[in-house]
Structure 1
Amino acid sequence: MKTTFQYDHYYAYQELTEALKTLVSRHSDILTMESLCKSEKDRDVWAMTLTNRQTGDPLAKPAFYIDANTHAGEVTGSMAALHTLDVLCTNYGEDEALTKLVDTMTFYVIPRISVDGSEVYLTTPYDLRSADRPYLTPVQQPGLVPEDMDQDGVIRMMRIKDKHGAWKICQHNPTLMEKRKPDDREGEFYTVVSEGMVQGEVKGEIQPAPVLWGLDFNRNYPFGWFHESRQAGAGAYPLSNPENKAVVDFVLAHHNIGAVATHHTSGGVILYPPGTRPEKSADPDDMRRLREIAAMATEEMGYPAINIFDHFMTDQENYSSGAFDDWCFQDQGIPAYTLELWNLLERAGCKIDWDRRDAKSEAECLDTLTKVLAWCAENAPDSFEAWTPYQHPQLGLVEIGGLNLKFTEENCPNAFLLQEVEKTTKFCLRYARSLPQLAIDKAEVKWLGEDLAEVTVTVGNEGYLPTYLSQEAKLLKTAKPVKVSLQGQIQSFIAGQAILEIGDLEGYSGANANYRSCEVKTGEHAPLTRTVRWLIQAQKGAEVTITAFQPKAGRAMLKLVL
């Protein structure tokens, strides 16, 4: 895929901002840039709007929304969001299919929500969930705090000899640690913790310190929000984080958004809502559509698609919620997918069973570790450090070693970044094409008298999704009807009004098309088109404009000379 930028490393804030500004300067006719809000560290959360304004107002076209880096460390997502923008801009005017997308649709892209947290993640050894601001306590509490003790730029594992330790060196592979068996009494044993320093007095057993930067932006959205006592990182109240509030305000202000992709890592899985209740509790047609769109993600990305609640949640009583995808679908009725990009385990040849909820056996865990280390040794050799003695200023002689998990497990190594972002863009472009799209299929004028005319118009939906997007939207009463207007040099309306509401239009996903054993068939279904008629007084040669409009399905216009 032709692009302006190279996707061979991860962009920190300044480089990402410069890349966005470069695209705007080169493609100012189709791309604009705005700041949603300022972070605590005075960084802008950028929002990009991509469409051909010569073909219509951005708000008057069906819109596809992408965001990324809700979580600070999931930087593959921001590169994928940038890549999609890059492909659309760079190929505009050269690739017919991509040009048509930009001409007929609007793309909204927020490449990085957690701008402060991601900067810490990319420019320091530290890892964090969302933002580098204290949460729950103003200062770090006692315990072991992760720190890059050996100054190699990575916080790895640290093992300490301890006769009470739960770990021992694996007898089959000394690189690995394995748990002690119930009868293990003789030999050397270890406590294994994060590389780091103990905050406070060192006494007794080493315990991890409570996380200082514990905010989780994807627990702060207003649907299904729970208090911190139930859900770690939830924030003081829904949308208490300015970044979360800015995202919600943006979506609500752009009523044409009809499809959402929110980029995360990792796991290599496509998640679709609902995430707070079983799939069987949702409308069957909604779920069918979500599965059919997700099947395109599997085709392009190679990742399975699963329902969040039924297959992704390991605890269906104390499930995680307050997430963006659930707010989109269960509060606004907008189809939304969380794309969990990159899967180290799959690359290493490990089998992943999303329906298996019981813990893996120790043998399975060791097999996974063995395969992961072998893959990293071949494909990302700089990511691994063998156990190396280190004289710790508090703990004495320890050993430090292990993987750089930030760029092996949580994100792909640089060499694999282009592959990951390209397949994400391929799916997103196909997903965008599923949006509803109004069209005026037919218009006729029949003169019934010298100044009396009958105007007949058929309006259709050319998209896969219905104009109402989902039955969920109907239940929430967020779905709006299609309106058709007739305006211009008209003396009076004898029958019909200037603006008529014609209800909903199904997309071709609602055509009740089914395979049978020896044939295919289209059954009875709700209308994909509707015909309206006006009886008007006007002069021959008068000019009129027919307009069909619906917020999610855009605007179609036709000018007629009577």
Structure 2
Amino acid sequence: MKVLLFFGLVAAALADVTRFDGEKVLRLKPVLAEHVTLIRDLAESIEVDFWSPDSPELVTIDIDVDIRVPARYLSIVYTTLGQSSMAHEILIEDVQVAINRQADNGISPKELHSYTKYNTWDTVLSWINSIASSNPSLVSKQVIGNTFEGRPMTLLKLGKSSGTTKPSIFLDCGIHAREWISPAFCQWFVKEALETYGSDSQMTSLLDQMDVYVLPVFNIDGYEYSHTTNRMWRKTRSKLSGSSCLGTDPNRNFDAGWCTVGASSNPCSETFCGSTPESEIEVKNVADFIRKNKSSIKAYLTIHSYSQLLLFPYSYSYNLAADHSELMSVAQGASAALTSLYGTRYTSGPGASTIYLAAGGSDDWAYDLGVKYSYTFELRDTGYHGFLLPESQIKPTCEETMLAVKYIAAHVQKNLY
């Protein structure tokens, strides 16, 4: 009886995990106004997950659109595309197969942390505690608040201890839950910083003269949910009174042109802006910390995926930032440094004109607060794996991104304000 009960519980648990068998990711190439209308109409009539851009409202002519289509809707989508003569291609033949193949770096126990695997939140938290206790002269930690579901948002502070407040850089990863390569980079950054301090002159100088705050996972609840239940989950896991749909897009929830463009007021939308700016406790915790320390924070770097972009303000407006020329110069230099390792090509520029208008983003908010060097990375790739980047690409992605981050950090260090 106990054996039957055990297998029954296992079956029930597995039944709760969302599967994506037979689903495809398609790249649509709209070149006519009719194509744009068709894509938006499709989004209204059937369940479509927009990967890039991240909502139907942002679809425009001559910008490729990547969508995940559930298997049950494929026939109607193919019929519609055939009638429209819109060019398209298949990026991912079977989403579930791609999910299964992500863990291609061999099998290891989930509780063992690895820099070349996508670690669960519990494993990341254990790593945070271990890395801080093992490196007391260079690392300290603090909880800046809890998530909606009560998980601690633990911030690592990297830097040589000093009796005075040092200028600092704030780095966060994992705002969007399904972008697993992002938290992988924050963990890699900490590893590299600690391993190369004392041997790499640039890193040594950086941590001697500045502090780097690292938030390994911003949207912890969503990240955990993407590991346990729904690999494609993007938002937070908050509940809104009067709605059965959960979560808010934390990168539409900052008070920067909030909910004016490129965001949705519909709680069921993937780009739901929230009920008010900073309605998400995770966003408020980060914003409160940066506000409290804004006199010392000189750069804000936020890591996303995918598209291979290095963006800076503004995204909520086509207006150029006051520091546009310098921000562009630094972005181009950082992108060139990144490309030098494996030849990976990045595009640099303001968010609005480089990809699309989107209000409520963390980089725009930080810049408007007075953090001049404010950048958003969109890591590998350009869509053929999308959010399902194989673990074999973690190491090269992180290695090349380190070069770009170090380039920005060096510029900040030499141009404190």
TM-score category of the 2 structures, normalised to the smaller one: 0.5 to 0.7
Give the match for residue 409 of structure 1: 386
Give the match for residue 379 of structure 2: 341
1:224 aligns with 2:257: yes
Task: State how far apart, in whole Å, the 2-side matches of 1:303 and 1:411 are.
Answer: 19
Give the match for residue 273 of structure 1: 313
Where structure 2 has 5 or more consecutive residues not aligned to the other structure, the ranges are: 1-111, 339-344
1:93 aligns with 2:194: no
Task: State how far apart, in whole Å, the 1-side matches of 2:239 and 2:132 are.
Answer: 35
Contact 2:238/2:280 (CA < 8 Å) preserved in 1?
Answer: no
Give the match for residue 7 of structure 2: none
TM-score of the two chains, using structure 2 as the length reference:
0.66
Q: 1:434 Cα deviation (Å)?
A: 1.2
Q: 1:34 Cα deviation (Å)?
A: 1.1
Q: 1:97 Cα deviation (Å)?
A: 2.9
1:257-294 CA deviation, whole Å, 9 max, x = no partner? 10111001111111111122225x443xx111111110
1:430 aligns with 2:404: no
SS of the residue 2:394 aligns to: helix
Task: State how far apart, in whole Å, the 1-side matches of 2:228 and 2:282 are.
Answer: 21
SS of the residue 2:387 aligns to: coil
Give the match for residue 219 of structure 2: 114
Contact 2:171/2:213 (CA < 8 Å) preserved in 1?
Answer: yes
Q: Which one-letter code corresponds to 1:45 in the other structure?
A: M
1:288 aligns with 2:353: no
Task: State how far apart, in whole Å, the 1-side matches of 2:371 and 2:221 are.
Answer: 31
Instruction: Map 1:371-410 to 2 at 5 A.
Output: 372=384, 408-410=385-387
Give the match for residue 256 of structure 1: 296
1:84-130 CA deviation, whole Å, 9 max, x = no partner? 11111122233333222111111011111110100111223442222
Aligned match for 1:15, one of 123, 128, 149: 123
Task: State how far apart, in whole Å, the 1-side matches of 2:290 and 2:305 are.
Answer: 22
SS of the residue 1:90 aligns to: helix
Instruction: Map 1:118-517 to 2 at 5 A.
Output: 118-135=223-240, 137-139=242-244, 212-226=245-259, 228-229=264-265, 232-254=271-293, 255-279=295-319, 281-283=320-322, 286-301=323-338, 302-313=345-356, 319-345=357-383, 372=384, 408-436=385-413, 463=414, 465=415, 467=417
Task: State how far apart, in whole Å, the 1-side matches of 2:337 and 2:182 are.
Answer: 16
Where structure 1 has 5 or more consecutive residues not aligned to the other structure, the ranges are: 140-211, 314-318, 346-371, 373-407, 437-462, 468-562
Task: State how far apart, in whole Å, the 2-side matches of 1:282 and 1:417 are.
Answer: 33
Q: 1:40 Cα deviation (Å)?
A: 2.6
Task: State how far apart, in whole Å, the 2-side matches of 1:56 and 1:102 are.
Answer: 14
TM-score of the two chains, using structure 1 as the length reference:
0.49
Q: Radius of gyration: which is bigger?
A: 1
Task: State how far apart, in whole Å, the 1-side matches of 2:241 and 2:259 are.
Answer: 15
1:154-202 CA deviation, whole Å, 9 max, x = no partner? xxxxxxxxxxxxxxxxxxxxxxxxxxxxxxxxxxxxxxxxxxxxxxxxx
Q: Which one-letter code corresponds to 1:425 in the other structure?
A: M
Give the number of the structure whose residues are more often helix, by fraction. Answer: 2
* Count of aligned residue pairs for this structure pair: 293
Q: Which one-letter code corresponds to 1:261 in the other structure?
A: L
Q: Which one-letter code corresponds to 1:244 in the other structure?
A: V
Q: 1:425 Cα deviation (Å)?
A: 1.7
Task: State how far apart, in whole Å, the 2-side matches of 1:333 and 1:125 are.
Answer: 35
Give the number of the structure whose residues are more often strand, by fraction. Answer: 1
Q: Which one-letter code corresponds to 2:335 in the other structure?
A: T
Which piece of structure 1 moves more, 254-263 or 422-431? 422-431
